[in-house]
Structure 1
């Protein structure tokens, strides 16, 4: 069920019966010369839709702009400051909690959001409002992702390219895949700037001139479909696990005291 598509009497019935919501989150940011700026939120929405279809749990509207200032040199990239993002997402979940939701799966497809969603989850649990867990599709199937491509990449590489080829092939510039590889950071480990154990960069363009990492020419819609189905299995299982937990299991433990 999609919250925005439903009439309120149907939502009232849902909130009486269920306490879990699926919240997709992504970004609107550059993804190399070959992928749309919508890449992350398209991926998050697709996983959210699939999980809602499989489980019957409520999927709420997607947060489409995230923490992306590190991509700001590329035209069109949108972002909000990290404190604003955290406060917005926390307020969003508190709204859901008002209607009876006390557990949330953040279906996140943007690495820049991860630490902030974890912080929001801590705030909500510490305030006894809701238990919110952050989920990233590729982190749920790491071995499959690693085995799928010889030259992978954390951003705008073959794994994301394959998913968009599967989900929205009309938005992929296949004629630019070689350009993305050759003008980007085909070997991320060699390209990402570090010195003496410290990251010596703040922006994507310092590591990849065109914003892509890895070899997207290795991607295909078939590989994207395989990754999507495998990660969807993991998300479905996570939703069912969280829905089955007693609230007492999810609350923060009481302060430990010595006797």
Structure 2
């Protein structure tokens, strides 16, 4: 069920009977010369709405701008300052608790949001109002990602490219895949500038990759994207079913010893 499509009287039964909601979050930021700036929020919304369709759980509208100042040097990147993002997500989640939701899955597709969603989840749990957890699609299927791609890249690489080729093929510049690979950083894990004596010395994407992306984009196909989408959606559905089945008292903080 997609909240924004429903008339309010038709939502009464859901809030009477269910207590779980999916909240998709992503970003609006550069994803190299070949992918749209909406890559992350398009992926997050696709997973959340598909899982909602398969389970009948509630899916909210998508948070389309995230914590992305590390991509600011590239045209069009938008971002929210981290404190403002955390407060906004907490506020909209509390909107849901007002209606009776007490468990939330943040369906996230942007790495820059992760630590902040975890912090919001802690606030909500510590207050006893809701149990909210962050879910990142590629973290749910790491073995498949490694099997499918030799250089997946953490940003704008073949895994994200494949998903957008599958979900929104009209938004992918397939004629720029080689340029994306050749103008970016292919082998992130062995990049000598990633660490200096154990310290991360970079702050922005452009410090490591001139065109903003990592990995080998020429390894992407829509067929691979379909495999990723099905496998990760299955994981998300299982997570929702698990969370829905937990008694709320098992989700709140333990008492002091």
- Shorter-chain TM-score range: over 0.9
State the 1:12 CA deviation: 1.2
Q: Distance in 2 between the 1:142 and 1:31 partners?
A: 21
Q: Distance in 1 between the 2:194 and 2:256 partners?
A: 42
User: Which residue of the partner structure matches residue 28 of structure 1?
Assistant: 28
Please state whether the residue corresponding to 2:66 is helix, strand or coil. coil
Scaled by the length of structure 2, the TM-score of the pair is: 0.99
For 1:1-259, list aligned pairs within 5 A: 1-191=1-191, 192-256=193-257
Scaled by the length of structure 1, the TM-score of the pair is: 0.98
Please state whether the residue corresponding to 1:202 is helix, strand or coil. coil
Q: Distance in 2 between the 1:219 and 1:139 partners?
A: 18
Q: Distance in 1 between the 2:97 and 2:70 partners?
A: 32
Q: Deviations over 1:140-162 (max 9, x none)?
A: 00000011111120000000000
Q: Distance in 2 between the 1:152 and 1:165 partners?
A: 15
Q: Distance in 1 between the 2:243 and 2:82 partners?
A: 27
State the 1:189 CA deviation: 2.1
Question: What CA RMSD, in Å, does the superposition of the two structures yield over aligned residues?
Answer: 0.6
- Which ranges of 4 or more aligned residues in structure 1 deviate by more than 6 Å? none
Show structure 2 runs of 5+ residues with no match. Answer: none
